[in-house]
Amino acid sequence: MIATKAGATLLGTAPPRLPSEAVLITGAASGIGYATAMRLARKGQIVYAGVRRESDAEIVAIEGGENVRPLILDIGDEASIARARTAISRAHDVRLTGLVNNAGISIAGPLEMLPMEELRRLFEVNFFGTIAMMQAFIPLLREHRGRIVNVSSIGGKLAAPFVGAYAASKFALEAASDSLRLELRPFGIDVAIVEPGAVKTPMWQRSADESLRVLDTIPQSSRIAYDEMIRNIVRFAQQMEKRGIPPEQVAASIDRALHDPHPKARYLVGSDARVRLLVARLPEGLRDRIVATIAGAPLKPPRIGRNKTKSRTVNA
């Protein structure tokens, strides 16, 4: 029996149903984001799957079932973020308890040669877009003492040649996450970082295609000095993709970061990530030699032929 305010009782009246917990995942169309959305949905979690195209929305809706709610979301567009926030805030059957910032892009190439507009676009998505997402959704998370999980990379701890732009955006995300973890703790919001190594995702191929597109805009005479090193790093990236862990392994770590009673600040994923973290902690000279050797980047400038004729000193 349930007592009413007037003192009467109602027989067989069920208690009001609490709104379901929901998690918003960006970049859910493929790779880590997709694997995370499917994992959480299978476990009964309501998942807002952020995708950029209607065709991707249809796929995740079909494959994720009733627990997946596709959301057209471009984190590089403030208006798109605002629409997503409005849609979730108006859904009275759910309460947002998790935000997984997974969406990101990559581009490789010599920092000397990468056009500034491409560098700005990279940061607009990987860093500024993620910050914009957190600014928009922290008020909703604060209501329910929710959690934020930022998908970074071991590249945010160890920068390799020719992926300096991508690594820089992840270094920035790591720093922002560390600050936010302390800033939001008084409100009961935990902030965790997931740092995978190489992962078998379409991002590798998209990154390679995008990098080649950008490099093709650079005159051959300007980039000829880097050609051999670029070929080496492309081969290295292809090898890492083949050896990479499945995205489901990263999804499992994201799941733990969302639901551990006492979440860690960082979740390192993959044996190569652990090795690279150890390398990152070495003295710079030794670290540089190891990274350059693995990446196929020379540590010394090319030898330049010298004039065999000895110069003479002429006294005035």
Q: Can you read off the two tokens belonging to residue 109?
A: 């190439």
Q: Which residue, 249, 135, 136, 150, is CA-closest to 190?
A: 150
User: To which residue do tokens 């710079």 refer?
Assistant: 284
Helices 284-295, 271-280: axis angle to 10 degrees equals 140
Catalytic residue among 48, 166, 226, 267: 166
Please write down the long-range contacts of 74-80, taking CB distance under 8 Å and 24 or more positions apart. Answer: 75/26, 75/50, 75/101, 75/103, 75/125, 75/129, 75/130, 75/132, 75/133, 76/121, 76/124, 76/125, 76/128, 76/129, 78/132
Residues 6+ apart with CB under 8 A from 44: 67
* 166 assigned to active site: yes
Q: What is the residue type of 289?
A: R
The rounded distance, in Å, linking the Cα atoms of 252 and 264 is: 14
Catalytic residue numbers, as ranges: 166
